[in-house]
Amino acid sequence: MELSRIFLSSLLTSNLTLFSDFGSPHAACLSLKSKLQLENTTIIDVSYVPGGSRVATLGTCDPIAHVSAPICRVQFFTNTSDTSVVHAEAWLPDQWYGRFLAQGNGGLGGCIFYDHLDYGSSMHFATVASNNGHDGYSGAPFLDHPEVINDFAYRAIHVEAVIGKQIVEAYYGRPHAKSYYLGCSTGGRQGTQAALKYPEDFDGILAGAPATDFNHLIHWSYMLGQHIGAPHPESSPAFIPPELWRAVAAEVMRQCDAIDGVRDGIVTEPDLCDFRPEALLCGRTSRSRCLTEPQVEALRKIYSPLYGDNSEVIYPRYDPGAESEAIPFGPFSGEIGDLFKSWVQNTVLNNTDFDFSQYGPEHLKLMDEINPGGIATFNGDMSTFRDRGGKFLSYHGRVDPASILIASGNSKRVYNLISRTLGMSSLASFYRLFLVPGMAHCTGGPGAGRFGQLNAPTNAVNASSHNILLALVDWVEGGVAPNTIIGTKDNGWTRRVHCRYPQRSVWKKEKWWWKGKFVCEE
């Protein structure tokens, strides 16, 4: 039934792929070289690319990209101010279903995700992605360049939408029917920012693991490391080396794995896990790997929310169960993460020689005051996006071990912020959040983390019941809102139903004691 509905939708819009004025997609594509006259925009190149090709890319991030389906490829840049510019590409498939898709970025990049471009165009979306206003993975271009920060914080995605839609209309001879957005991590924050700041840009937004409340996220990620001695872990009695983190991970599983009703190596609902690290205290355990009191105290801080001077929550706690995916990366290495360091030095302090042993709560206050480019993205007023009929889907893995950790509890926090701001006890009419047990950052991990959210490898089953991008299309175009999403593990055959918040995933035993399945309950 799911497949038939998608197929019918494609048939209803397939007439949009006609090129009667030029006789072929190839000729229509090449005509764009002289046809496109766009404000503040320069066309770098236009080329027709057959399916199965490999092409050189813009920028320094990925030298070669794969092109699955035949496309018209338009490379361009748009001047966003006197001192800033966004480079971007539009991939326009021969077989187009009338849908426009803008794509987000990651980290502090700087990088066009070409595998995401290929995924969108192979799924028959006219797809556009940009470098977010600078080249590369580093935040170094932000130093003394506030307009470059503005591109990163909010403007580049808007440019993708405005310029990309004009290119689409020029190529296909008519405008798009519906407009979508896809991104994760920084891309999730960008999608959230688009709904808040430019609610007319997209009819449907898919925002994974959003790096929202960005200033507090940056601060929290450093404080996690500071709890174990960063930036000088070698002299700290609280430092926990990788081999002891493995003992911590095993103890978390021993205490909390079975809370959902089955032991499967996944803590389904970390917020129900009241982890007691003192069980690992030397003298209380016979294990050869045990923890000292300073190490146990560090864990108590890590697995608790971060509070401010007035007992307000600055950021939620670290998710129990995620530590196994983080070893030995991120803040728990005891080193200063490049993303945190680059952001603080280049955008907050404008000082690349800052001594991070001097970092403290006063720097969070400074970040909040400056809020470079409006980067925080922590505003619950999505009323305009809601009122115009926009649909917002979000997802977050519960074992997110990114180098800048994005606690899945923050996605709950954002949902609740919107609920309070709009006075809605349930946001289900326009905003749905799926918390994915066992999924790492955007994909991967021991859970069923493949449901069409990013690129071709995440699209295990091409149906809206298993593909969250297609589920968004069904919601926007057919009014069919997703109650569940079925994820697939990396092995390709193990599947699990993921529930929309505030529902929880619970193991239900069947007739025979060794059988059961996960179901969603309020």
Beta-bridge partners for 103: 182
Pairing of strands 71-81, 41-49: antiparallel
Catalytic status, residue 257: no
SS3 of 441-503: the string is CCCCCCCCCECCCCCHHHCCCCCCCCCHHHHHHHHHHHCCCCCEEEEECCCCCCEEEEEECCC
Under DSSP, the state recorded for 154 is I
What length is written for the chain?
522
Catalytic status, residue 426: no
Beta-bridge partners for 148: none
d(CA 373, CA 157): 14
The residue from 201, 203, 400, 474 that is catalytic is 400
d(CA 283, CA 279): 10
Tokens matching residue 11: 């048939």
Catalytic status, residue 185: yes
Q: Where are the alpha helices (DSSP H) in 260-355?
A: 293-302, 323-326, 338-343
Label residues 206-233 b or e (16+ Cβ within 10 Å = b): bbbbbbbbbbbbbbbbbbbbbbbbbbeb
Whose CA is closest to 29, among 99, 129, 96, 116?
96
Whose CA is closest to 206, among 379, 431, 394, 410?
394
Whose CA is closest to 228, among 209, 248, 213?
248
The residue from 145, 227, 441, 466 that is catalytic is 441
The residue from 121, 122, 179, 185 that is catalytic is 185
Q: Which of the residues are catalytic?
A: 185, 400, 441
